[in-house]
Copies of this chain bind each other. A is one copy, B any other.
Amino acid sequence: MEVSVLLFENFETLDVFGPVEIFGKVTEHISFYSLHGGIISNSHRVSLDTLPLDNIIKGTYVFLIPGGLGTRKQVHNTELINKIKQISTLSVHVLSVCTGSALLAKTGLLNGKRATSNKRSFEWVVSVNEKVDWIKKARWVVDGNFYTSSGVSAGMDMTLGFLADLHGEEFAGAIAIQIEYNWQKDKDLDDFCTSE
């Protein structure tokens, strides 16, 4: 299972490393990318070396798009949005965490599809593309090969849910036990949504 993770300046730490921890239990093929490659950092002083997105020629099995404050700037980065669109189209599964769905929505690929995002930034995410069928109350949403999760920690529940969809709940549950994680299996249960 090839997992390709998009990074950009000011990505949210756990949006990336929650899913990476879980994918790391099933594959050694995890790679980090950014628009032009090189060192990418965030406000938590996490700094990683990345490959350029152009290296993904034929798509990937899982394309993971995190959120974070950096998305506010990146939705206006036409070159990045075009690359995300191109790679998402070629990839088998596309997963976004938190405000990562704003980047995905900006490509137009979610138009008419169901998707969710971070609760605190929900209005902003909706404003990025109102043609998406935004679902506010959901831990994560699946529509075709697109998985979109709520804020930060929800990315872990979604990643386990994604692996459950592929390999069964028992398979995903065993990973949750291995990392001593209280997996919330119900994608429709959302304790952090205070309005519908």
Contact = CB atoms under 8 A, between A and B. Distances in A.
Contacts of A118: 180
B13 A24 contact: yes
B119 A180 contact: yes
A28 B43 contact: yes
14 contacts: A13-B17, A13-B20, A13-B21, A13-B24, A17-B18, A18-B18, A21-B152, A30-B45, A119-B180, A152-B179, A152-B181, A153-B179, A153-B180, A182-B191
A26 to B, nearest CB: 11
Interface of A: 12-14, 16-18, 20-21, 23-24, 28, 30-32, 43-49, 118-120, 150-154, 177-182, 184, 191-192
> Chain A binding site: helix, strand, loop or mixed by DSSP?
loop
Most buried by B among A12, A14, A177, A178: A14
Contacts of A44: 20-21, 23-24, 30
A22 B154 CA distance: 15
Contacts of A24: 13, 43-44
A194 to B, nearest CB: 10
Contacts of A12: 21
A154 B17 CA distance: 15
7 closest Cβ contacts across the A-B interface? A17-B17, A24-B44, A151-B180, A14-B21, A153-B181, A152-B179, A180-B192
Contacts of A184: 182
A31 B48 contact: no
A141 B43 CA distance: 29
A187 to B, nearest CB: 13
Contacts of A182: 153, 182, 184, 191
Given A32-B45, A46-B48, 8 more contacts: A14-B21, A48-B48, A120-B178, A150-B180, A152-B180, A153-B180, A153-B182, A177-B192
